[in-house]
């Protein structure tokens, strides 16, 4: 694992603007909020070559509950190389205010050599050889199915939904994606990936604190490396980034709940799709919602259009019983509201083109390993999961954000399985809010 902080420099067009460090920016803006002098006068009083005295004098507010000052540092960029897919998922779950990207499964190395050492992940020493062998077999299944599906797509091109008049390079890429996106369910969640995130010092401190409070050694190692990088840019605010009792206790309780559910529901059988949607349209009696839903939606030219108060005030909870981790990785990145999953294996998804019985021996070995780790209460059970593991997943937000997500994840180029899940949720939403039906677009996800 390698963590790198990336410092921003102004472009040439901004060369004449005042230049500040992240914490000096926070201190100047904090003073600005408590003064009527104007920003130029405040900057005149700050020694930009020796900012420490000004920073310390103003940032003491953080210690008195003014944590919002930590949000004034601007975006601090961190790149994390060679972390497990589990850790990438967890960071996106924690860092709900971050902008970020993770490497696509279409572009990272799919081999046992791209796994962290078992000891780095806290896999019990007596299970390390077994863990490595099971995941190596999972990679072998991935490659075998990818090659078979790629040949199938060449032999039966109608399986790949191609745009009209697609050029050969596009045809080749979409055919490859057809195979990659169906074979990916054999990828171990422990596989190394890369991610980059940008967020304020305040949010980084909260993220690192939570990572440092988790029982997984990989999370704690990442917390230290991220903190060490951020100390170079925001040394004062990062002192609030160490493990804390309330975080540790909640992490302990959540792990215990996941272990209980995981032991009770562990299965390799595919689970039939179920969707749950709950819409709350209540408003205070002294502030009723008067806008029709159609008026909130009909003025949009596309999914990025601004919606009205009728949908922005409407609360929506939606959940699936069987979201594969392959899809969870992306749906978990929708930042609004709250997302929750126990991250268990209640079933195992494979696409229709892949037969479960062809891989049952592998799935039985993998499930037996997962059960052994769950029986021990080991947090390392997450590293025995494959991306086909199906887990309950719940997301609560507002209707405008739900509509955006549903249109995006069923729209052009969306993964076929996203489209199935979000299409089902969208249809249930429209059943409960029929006025939205004429204005919300469920896409076809074409092409692949």
pLDDT digits (tens, 9 = 90+) for 303-349: 999 999 999 999 999 999 999 999 999 888 887 889 999 999 999 99
Measure the N-to-C terminal CA separation of the chain; round to a whole number of Å. Answer: 33
CA dihedral 363, 366, 372, 377 (to 10 degrees): -110
CA angle, 52 then 78 then 329, to 5°: 145
d(CA 183, CA 431): 34
pLDDT of amino acid 66 = 47
pTM tops 0.75: yes
Span(s) in the chain for CATH 3.30.1360.170: 257-349+388-436
CA–CA distances in Å: residue 38 to residues 32, 34, 35, 328, 415: 7, 10, 7, 47, 50
Q: Give the number of other CB atoms < 10 A from CB of residue 430.
A: 19
What class, spelled out in words, does domain 2-80+192-243 have in CATH?
Answer: alpha beta
The three-class DSSP label of residue 253 is helix
What class, spelled out in words, does domain 257-349+388-436 have in CATH?
Answer: alpha beta
Residue pLDDT tens, the chain, 448 long: 999 998 888 888 888 888 777 877 777 777 766 677 787 877 777 776 666 666 665 555 444 344 566 666 678 889 999 999 999 999 999 998 888 888 888 888 899 999 999 999 999 999 999 999 999 999 999 999 999 999 999 899 888 887 778 888 888 888 888 999 999 999 999 999 999 989 988 899 999 999 999 999 999 999 999 999 999 888 877 888 999 999 999 999 999 999 999 999 999 999 999 999 999 999 999 999 999 999 999 999 999 999 999 999 999 999 999 999 999 998 888 878 899 999 999 999 999 999 999 999 999 999 999 999 999 999 999 999 999 999 999 999 999 999 999 999 998 888 899 999 999 999 999 999 999 999 999 988 877 5
């Amino acid at each position: 694992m390698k963590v790198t902080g990336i410092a921003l420099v102004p472009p040439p067009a901004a060369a004449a603007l005042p230049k500040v460090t992240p914490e000096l920016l926070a201190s100047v803006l904090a003073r600005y909020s408590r003064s009527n002098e104007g920003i130029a006068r405040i900057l005149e009083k700050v020694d930009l070559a020796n900012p420490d005295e000004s920073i310390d004098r103003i940032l003491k507010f953080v210690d008195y509950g003014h944590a919002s000052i930590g949000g004034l540092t601007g975006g601090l960029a961190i790149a994390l190389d060679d972390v497990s897919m589990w850790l990438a998922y967890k960071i996106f779950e924690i860092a709900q205010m971050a902008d970020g990207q993770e490497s696509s499964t279409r572009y990272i190395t799919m081999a046992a050599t791209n796994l962290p050492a078992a000891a780095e992940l806290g896999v019990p020493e007596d299970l390390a050889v077994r863990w490595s062998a099971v995941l190596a077999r999972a990679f072998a299944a991935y490659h075998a199915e990818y090659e078979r599906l790629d040949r199938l797509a060449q032999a039966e091109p109608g399986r790949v939904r191609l745009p009209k008049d697609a050029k050969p390079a596009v045809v080749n890429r979409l055919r490859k994606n057809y195979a990659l996106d169906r074979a990916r369910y054999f990828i171990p969640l422990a596989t190394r990936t890369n991610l980059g995130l940008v967020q304020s010092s305040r949010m980084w401190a909260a993220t690192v604190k939570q990572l440092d409070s988790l029982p997984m050694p990989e999370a704690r190692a990442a917390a230290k490396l991220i903190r060490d990088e951020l100390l170079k840019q925001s040394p004062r605010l990062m002192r609030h980034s160490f493990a804390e009792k309330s975080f540790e206790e909640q992490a302990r309780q959540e792990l215990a709940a996941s272990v209980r559910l995981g032991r009770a529901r562990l299965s390799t059988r595919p689970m039939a799709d179920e969707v749950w949607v709950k819409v709350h349209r209540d408003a205070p009696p002294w502030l009723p919602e008067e806008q029709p839903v159609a008026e909130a939606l009909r003025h949009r030219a596309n999914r990025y259009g601004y919606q009205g108060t009728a949908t922005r005030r409407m609360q929506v909870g939606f959940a699936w019983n069987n979201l594969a981790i392959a899809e969870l990785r992306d749906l978990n990145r929708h930042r609004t509201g709250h997302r929750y999953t126990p991250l268990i294996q209640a079933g195992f998804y494979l696409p229709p083109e892949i037969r479960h019985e062809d891989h049952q021996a592998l799935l039985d070995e993998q499930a037996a390993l997962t059960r052994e780790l769950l029986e021990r209460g080991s947090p390392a059970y997450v590293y025995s999961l494959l991306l086909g593991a199906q887990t309950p997943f719940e997301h609560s937000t507002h209707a405008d954000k739900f509509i955006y997500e549903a249109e995006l994840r069923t729209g052009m180029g969306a993964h076929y399985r996203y489209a199935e899940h979000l299409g089902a949720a969208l249809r249930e939403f429209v059943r409960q809010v029929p006025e939205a039906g004429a204005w919300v677009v469920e896409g076809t996800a074409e092409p692949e």
